[in-house]
């Protein structure tokens, strides 16, 4: 809850933001999704092509050679595949270049949406990324953070995130954030997004995702030479903008707590002129240098840092997915499903999950910061350990069932051996033979019960075998293993 107190003011000159929205899509409809993107003006991103400034902003260029040299080869060919037919992350970009307005309380926030990326990733996970700019010679940091906090709320269930409306100049249309994305900007994507029938809202597309807000990456430029305090850095990292009544706020009153928090989230290599903060809410770069001197830093933010963040965000979502999948299974029945999950985590870790992704020292430092922020190592260890324990439990359970089946078959073998492998009673050969069963001897009754039970057991084994084959096919399709 916001705590009223004195908050230091910091004026912002310009703000670049990238809002990232993950969603699940149907792998079997990948080709239809690509055709829909191309039909709506999205072009495939090629690393070896020149990228126009209008995608990122004036003076910001992303060099393909820099992206290649930043990542190790085994990562680079997954992040930048040469065609949609190859495995990896497939990025489609569309230019928007329109100014829109957010109305919130009595405030009006003008912003410029420059471009949109839709990235089709592995295992049915995709990302919608919006590049937005705010330019104001005297914008207060509280206003910028207030805009970010409300814009990222797809489904504003909290009071402090509710109330924002997006207005379209000229048409005077008004949209909630959800409708702005899925009715105005990307209405075609609704056919692609998967939904869990048991859940409601956008994040039913990812029922294992823990938040209902977009992740935000931002590059904030302050007045030249402005002093950036720990309090302001903490507010930026935690997106502490304004309280519901419009007053600036900060979510901690303890300076020691703020310093401890920054010690975990702050990358201070370029202090005091440039700061990087990574938290569970977003990744922010803050600088007090003149805008014209930050061309290289902005290019890195839009290029190498963008993909570094995206890759680790994918790691987090993928590990949460596996955690959700094994929490939903009945481990006593879904034997093949557990093995499929083990196969899934094996394919993921061998093809995409790497601790070393960058050849540069700053890239390694940022990767370590993202891993710590997203708790990736802890998630991976938990998933691997839990799946192995489930597999061992199922092996023990399966061994018990096999022992029981072997015991039953042994009994049938012994009885059949006593009868010389011949369980036929002469009466059965006659049409009326079954009517003589009241006069059967004990040995004939044993023969009858053994024969009928054996036939029933054989039918059961055949039906259960085909049933398991059918369930395996369904489970495999659910995990999208065949398309990876």
pLDDT in tens, 159-172: 667 778 999 998 88
Residue found under tokens 């680079």: 76
pLDDT over 60 at 419, yes or no: no
d(CA 395, CA 373): 36
Residue 174 pairs in a beta bridge with: 167
Q: Give SS3 for 102.
A: strand
By the 8 A CB rule, do 276 and 265 touch? no
Region of 41 (left: φ > 0; alpha: ψ -120 to 50; beta: rest) is: left
- Does 461 reside within a domain? no
Tokens of 223: 């007045």
CA torsion angle 222 227 230 233 (round to 10):
10
- Structural domain includes residue 404: no
Q: Cα separation of 435 and 423, whole Å?
A: 18
Six token digits for residue 8: 């230091």
Angle between helices 295-302 and 304-327 (to 10 degrees): 30
Q: Does residue 345 sit within a domain?
A: no
pLDDT bin (cut points 50, 70, 90) of residue 155 is confident
Q: Is the pLDDT of residue 480 over 80?
A: no
- Distance between alpha carbon 41 and the CA centroid of its chain, in Å? 25
- Distance (Å, rounded) from C-alpha 376 to C-alpha 330? 26
**What whole-number distance in Å separates Cα of residue 133 and Cα of residue 383?**
39
Q: What is the C-alpha R_g of the chain?
A: 30
Terminus-to-terminus CA distance in the chain, angstroms?
44
How high is the mean pLDDT of the chain? 82
**Does residue 287 form part of some domain?**
yes
Q: For residue range 299-340, what is the model confidence (pLDDT) as tens digits? A: 999 999 999 999 999 999 999 888 887 776 665 556 667 777
Which among 309, 107, 150 has a CA at the least distance from the CA of 219? 309
Confidence of residue 118 (pLDDT cuts 50, 70, 90): very high
Residue 361 domain flag: no
Of 191-200, 351-360, 401-410, the range with the highest mean pLDDT is 351-360
What is the b/e burial string over 129-160, where b = at least 16 CB atoms within 10 angstroms of the residue's CB? Answer: bbbbbbeeeebbbbbbbbbbbbbbbbbbeeeb
Percentage above 90 pLDDT, the chain:
45
Residues comprising the chain, all counted? 484
Residue 363 has pLDDT above 50, yes or no: yes
Residue 284 in this model has a pLDDT that exceeds 60: yes
The pairing of strands 282-287 and 215-222 is: parallel
* Mean pLDDT, residues 239-253 taken together: 88
* Residue 385 belongs to a domain: no
Distance CA 269, CA 396 (A): 52
pLDDT computed for residue 52 by the predictor: 58
- How much is the pLDDT for 26? 83
pLDDT given for residue 275 in this prediction:
97
Pairing of strands 43-44, 90-104: antiparallel
Cα distances from 156 to residues 165, 214, 240, 298, in angstroms, run 11, 11, 16, 31
Strands (E) across 189-325 are located at: 215-222, 266-267, 274-278, 282-287
Question: How far apart are alpha carbons 211 and 154 in whole angstroms?
Answer: 10
HSE-CB of 52 using CA atoms within 13 angstroms: 8
- pLDDT at residue 388, rounded to an integer: 76
pLDDT band, residue 432 (cuts 50/70/90): low
Summarize the confidence of residues 103-118 as an average pLDDT. Answer: 92
Q: What is the pLDDT of residue 326?
A: 72
Domains in the chain: how many in total?
1
For residue 460, being part of any structural domain is answered with no
* pLDDT confidence of residue 483: 47
Per-residue confidence (pLDDT) for residue 225, from 0 to 100: 92
Question: Cβ distance 178 to 108 under 8 Å?
Answer: no
Please compute the mean of the pLDDT values over residues 371-399 and round it to a whole number: 80
Q: What is the pLDDT of residue 63?
A: 81
Instruction: Report how far residue 317's alpha carbon sits from residue 225's, in angstroms, rounded to the nearest whole number.
Output: 38
Residue 421 pLDDT: 52
Q: Residue 68: which residues within 8 A CB-CB, separation 6 or more?
A: 47, 76, 80
Q: List, as one string, the DSSP characters of 440-460.
A: --HHHHHHHHHHHHHHHHHHH
**Residue 482: per-residue pLDDT:** 39
Rounded mean pLDDT of 353-357? 91
Is residue 479 in a domain? no
pLDDT of residue 143: 93
pLDDT at 460: 75
Residue 323 burial (CB count, 10 A): 17
Nearest-CA neighbor of 11 among 112, 132, 137?
137
The pair of three-digit structure tokens given for residue 278, joined into one six-digit string: 């990574």
* Confidence band, pLDDT 50/70/90 cuts, at residue 399: low
Asked if 250 and 3 touch (Cβ cutoff 8 Å), the reply is: yes
Domain that holds residue 235: 11-319
């Amino acid at each position: 809850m916001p705590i009223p107190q004195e908050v230091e003011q910091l004026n912002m000159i310009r703000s670049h933001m990238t809002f990232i929205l993950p969603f699940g899509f149907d792998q079997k409809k990948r080709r239809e999704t690509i055709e829909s993107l191309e039909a709506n003006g999205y072009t495939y991103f090629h690393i070896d092509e020149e990228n126009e400034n209008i995608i990122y902003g004036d003076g910001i260029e992303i060099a393909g050679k820099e992206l290649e040299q930043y990542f190790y080869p085994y990562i680079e060919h997954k992040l930048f595949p040469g065609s949609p037919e190859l495995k990896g992350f497939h990025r489609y970009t569309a230019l928007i270049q329109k100014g829109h307005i957010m109305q919130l309380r009595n405030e009006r926030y003008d912003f410029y949406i420059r471009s949109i990326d839709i990235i089709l990733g592995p295992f049915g996970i995709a990302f919608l990324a919006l590049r937005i700019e705010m330019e104001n010679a005297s914008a207060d940091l509280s206003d910028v953070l207030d805009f970010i906090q409300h814009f990222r709320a797809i489904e504003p269930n909290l009071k402090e995130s509710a109330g924002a409306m997006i207005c379209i100049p000229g048409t005077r249309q008004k949209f909630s954030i959800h409708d702005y994305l899925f009715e105005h900007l990307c209405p075609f994507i609704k056919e692609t997004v998967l939904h869990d029938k048991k859940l409601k809202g956008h994040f039913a597309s990812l029922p294992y995702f823990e938040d209902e807000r977009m992740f935000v990456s931002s590059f904030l430029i302050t007045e030249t030479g402005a002093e950036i305090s720990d309090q302001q850095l903490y507010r930026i990292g935690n997106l502490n903008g304004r309280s519901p009544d419009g007053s600036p706020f900060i979510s901690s009153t303890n300076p020691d707590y703020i310093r401890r928090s920054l010690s975990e989230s702050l990358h201070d290599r370029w202090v005091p002129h440039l700061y990087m903060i990574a938290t569970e809410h977003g990744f922010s770069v803050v600088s007090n240098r003149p805008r014209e001197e930050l061309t290289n830093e902005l290019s890195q933010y839009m290029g190498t840092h963008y993909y570094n963040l995206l890759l680790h965000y994918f790691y987090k979502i993928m590990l949460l997915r596996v955690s959700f999948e094994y929490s939903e299974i009945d481990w006593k029945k879904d034997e093949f499903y557990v093995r499929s999950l083990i196969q899934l985590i094996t394919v993921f870790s061998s093809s995409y999950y790497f601790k070393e992704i960058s050849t540069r020292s700053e890239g390694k430092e940022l990767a370590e910061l993202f891993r710590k922020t997203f708790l990736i190592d802890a998630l991976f260890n938990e998933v691997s350990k839990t799946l192995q324990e489930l597999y061992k439990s199922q092996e023990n359970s399966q061994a018990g069932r096999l022992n029981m089946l072997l015991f039953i078959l042994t009994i049938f073998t012994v009885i059949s051996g006593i009868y010389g492998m011949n369980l036929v009673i002469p009466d059965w050969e006659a049409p009326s033979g079954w009517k003589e069963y009241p006069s059967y001897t004990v040995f004939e009754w044993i023969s009858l019960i053994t024969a009928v039970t054996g036939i029933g057991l054989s039918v059961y084994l055949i039906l259960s075998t085909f049933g398991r084959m059918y369930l395996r096919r369904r489970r495999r399709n659910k995990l999208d293993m065949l398309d990876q």
